[in-house]
Amino acid sequence: MTTSSEATSTRAKRDHRRDAFLSLIGARPVIMGILNLTPDSFSDGARFQSLDLALAQASKLVQDGADIVDVGAESTRPGHTPVPLDEEWRRLEPVLAPLIAKVDAPISIDSYKAEIARRAAALGVAVINDVWGLQKDPAMADVAAESGAAVVIMHNRLEVDPEIDIEADIRRFFDRSLALADRAGVPRGRILLDPGIGFGKDKAQNLRALLATGRLREAYGLPILIGVSRKRMFGDLLGASVEGRLIGTIAANLTTLALGASVFRVHDAAEHAAAFKVFHAIDAA
């Protein structure tokens, strides 16, 4: 059983790491490293399901330049099979506490389930990354507020509709999500927005959503997180396999960095750290 002093210590450590993560935003590009504990993720499914492998990969991501590690136990790729809450937690529980204790970086939880977010935050997770932007689970906004974690609100759609204006749809979605966050008491200073590349969009809409980065940043005054790592859109554009999509990922991330994006969710931390260093050197000159 967790004692009151242990809970207080966990919250203090979480708040420190959360604030350290948030303080980087705007100072330089922030790298969010991806750690999948899933058997079916499109890029690295079943590679890091054991504790030792997960710890080793998280540590490598941080050594390579990741500022935060985003941990997920349910694939949300197109056509994925939904995972029950108990199964998602079974994958997460043995790994989260050791990661928080041993990895020298904040940990983010990639889940749209409020109960998963609540349990993860109680262990010390600093960020809740919700691919349904507080809208799928009615309890998520309250959990986010009560936990004290920072929140990533991502745009999503159940179905692709090539006829819609995707930027307008993203704005309507963000407006609803931010209203939920406001009612629950989530401070605006703890919120990031993600246009949800690859989620409920066709190829043209994905490109338009990336191009809208600067306008979204200006409209909401909130940091924009971009998650395009190894996405199928680069396979379509370049004719590349999953392993060959790195150059497309870096090109898209550098483009959106120039447009005003702040945080980049990636599998390949070292390559992005190098690319951002060159970008910064040119920009500073």
In percent, the amount of the chain with pLDDT more than 70 equals: 94
Question: Please, what is the average pLDDT of the chain?
Answer: 92
Query: Cβ(21)–Cβ(67) under 8 Å?
Result: yes
Amino acid at 88: E
**Does residue 225 or residue 235 have the better pLDDT?**
225
**pTM: predicted TM-score of the whole model, two decimal places:** 0.93
Mean pLDDT (whole number) for 217-223: 98
The residue behind tokens 């550098």 is 254
Please provide residue 269's backbone torsions phi and psi, each rounded to the nearest 5 degrees.
-70, -45
* pLDDT computed for residue 277 by the predictor: 96
**Does residue 281 or residue 41 have the better pLDDT?**
281
Q: pLDDT tens, 70-116? A: 999 998 766 667 899 999 999 999 999 999 999 999 999 999 999 99
Q: What is d(CA 198, CA 203) in angstroms, rounded to the nearest whole number?
A: 8
Mean pLDDT (whole number) for 22-48: 79
Q: 136 catalytic, yes or no?
A: no
pLDDT band at residue 141 using 50, 70 and 90 as cut-offs: very high
**Does residue 42 or residue 244 have the better pLDDT?**
244
- pLDDT at position 46 over 60: no
CATH of domain 4-284: 3.20.20.20
- Write down the catalytic residue from 118, 119, 231, 245: 231
- pLDDT at position 241 over 80: no
Amino acid at 95: V
- pLDDT at position 203 over 60: yes
Of the candidates 180, 134, 179, which has an alpha carbon nearest to the alpha carbon of residue 154? 134
Give the neighbor-by-neighbor strand order of the sheet with 191-194: 191-194, 150-154, 127-130, 107-110, 68-72, 30-36, 263-266, 225-226
CA atoms 99, 104, 106, 110: torsion sign? negative
Please state which of the ranges 35-39, 87-91, 139-143, 147-151 shows the lowest mean pLDDT. Answer: 35-39
- Write down the catalytic residue from 18, 119, 245, 265: 265
The residue behind tokens 């260093």 is 277
Q: 231 catalytic, yes or no?
A: yes
- pLDDT at position 45 over 60: no
- pLDDT at position 44 over 50: no
- pLDDT at position 43 over 90: no
* pLDDT computed for residue 47 by the predictor: 55
Amino acid at 172: R
pLDDT band at residue 49 using 50, 70 and 90 as cut-offs: low
